[in-house]
Structure 1
Amino acid sequence: MKRKIPKVIAIAAVSGGGKSTIASCLKEKLGNSIALYFDDYDFKGPEDMIEWIENGCNPNEWDLTPLICEIQSLQTEPLDTIILDFPFAYLHDASSNLIDFTVFIDTPLDLALARRISRDFKHASVEDILGDLDHYISRGRQGYLAMLHTIKPNSDLVVDGTLSISEIADIITEHIDE
């Protein structure tokens, strides 16, 4: 009997858009699944993120070998689904052939920024928060907009990021079951 290869689902969104939260929720909802989180890996990538964004944010400038090797290894395991918190959808050449379905969580930028500040600056000073906001206004917002113009249109499913976590997970589950 031929072994079933786990389906690989990639979840993309801007920073603060809900990738990790939705990946964790889907892992629980789908059962017999594993979730892999982009930020858990030490990738070789662009030194200057703003410069990378200004130069077109080519995903292929990232060496994703550790994640790719882990996905390939997990494809031999008796899993149903591998869920990726992954910012590039199908746009990274070395990983695109491993992904079966991509989702973009379309979270309004103001909500994503508020979530990111709440998450990343819990114990920060007002000056640190204001400095981050100034950086976002002057340069960082470009990265958010770049995702909307590149990753979103290259995803199989776009889900409203203002919906509840369970609603988003239900919509994704309905589509991957089709």
Structure 2
Amino acid sequence: MIKPKVISIAAVSGGGKTTITKKLTLTLKNSKALFFDEYDFQDSPLDLIKWVKDGADYNLWNLEPMIHDVESIAAKDTVSYILLDYPFSYKNDRLKELIDFSIYIDTPLDVAMARRLKRDYDSTNVGDLHHDLDFYLNYGRMAYLEMEKTIKPDSDLIVDGTLPPDQMIEIIQREIENA
């Protein structure tokens, strides 16, 4: 039985992790993707700003539902790659045991914010947009900076998030094959 390679893909919100994960799933033969945002992690920090201010202990996250899925998929011997759209890279001690390769998409914060605004505010009112921007400037930006400070340097591969997605995929695929 050959163990599938588990690859985590991290980036700030709007950094491109979901886009790249989906494209990698199509590019890497025999792969399965899991998306952090599709899980309900019980007994995990509810107030992300407080969590960051308190030191961002990644082990406070109860990632058992995702860990269970990774282990279940790996046990079936049906895939070569398990791709995790997952923001914490190697920082959660329990999940890091399962990760073989970690990618950080290094997207400048202004580019990530512009992408988020285009994605999240296509048809909403200006008041909601202003509220979200105020929140980002007053609180949320610190979470983005936390990722740049802790997740980025802990990754096996850092990819320029301003590159076109197909070019990022080429770089990632080449690195995965050589890892």
TM-score, structure 1 length as denominator? 0.97
Q: CA deviation at 1:76?
A: 1.8
Identify the residue that residue 124 of structure 1 maps to in structure 2. Answer: 124
| Cα shift readout 1:102-149 (whole Å, capped 9, x = no counterpart) | 000000000101111111222211000011001111111000000000
2:28 counterpart of 1:30:
yes
2:64 counterpart of 1:65:
yes
Separation in structure 2 between the aligned mates of residue 123 and residue 76 of structure 1, nearest angstrom = 43
Separation in structure 2 between the aligned mates of residue 19 and residue 51 of structure 1, nearest angstrom = 24
Q: Which runs of 5+ in 1 are unaligned?
A: none
Separation in structure 1 between the aligned mates of residue 144 and residue 46 of structure 2, nearest angstrom = 18
Aligned to 1:53, the other structure's residue is in SS state helix
Identify the residue that residue 167 of structure 1 maps to in structure 2. Answer: 167
Separation in structure 2 between the aligned mates of residue 30 and residue 47 of structure 1, nearest angstrom = 35
Q: CA deviation at 1:166?
A: 0.6
Q: CA deviation at 1:71?
A: 0.1
Identity among equivalent positions (%) equals 49
Separation in structure 1 between the aligned mates of residue 56 and residue 12 of structure 2, nearest angstrom = 13
Aligned-partner residue type, residue 3 of structure 2? I
Separation in structure 2 between the aligned mates of residue 61 and residue 115 of structure 1, nearest angstrom = 29
Separation in structure 2 between the aligned mates of residue 20 and residue 172 of structure 1, nearest angstrom = 14
Identify the residue that residue 17 of structure 1 maps to in structure 2. Answer: 15
| Cα shift readout 1:4-59 (whole Å, capped 9, x = no counterpart) | 11100000000000011000000000021011100010012112111011112111
Aligned-partner residue type, residue 32 of structure 2? I
Aligned-partner residue type, residue 6 of structure 1? P
Separation in structure 2 between the aligned mates of residue 56 and residue 15 of structure 1, nearest angstrom = 19
Aligned-partner residue type, residue 40 of structure 1? E
2:49 counterpart of 1:40:
no
Aligned to 2:75, the other structure's residue is in SS state coil
CA RMSD across the alignment: 0.7
Q: Which runs of 5+ in 2 are unaligned?
A: none
Aligned to 1:124, the other structure's residue is in SS state coil
| Cα shift readout 1:142-162 (whole Å, capped 9, x = no counterpart) | 000000000001000000000
Aligned-partner residue type, residue 46 of structure 1? P
Separation in structure 2 between the aligned mates of residue 157 and residue 82 of structure 1, nearest angstrom = 17
> In terms of mean alpha carbon deviation, does 160-169 or 42-51 score higher?
42-51
Aligned to 1:63, the other structure's residue is in SS state coil
Separation in structure 1 between the aligned mates of residue 68 and residue 168 of structure 2, nearest angstrom = 29
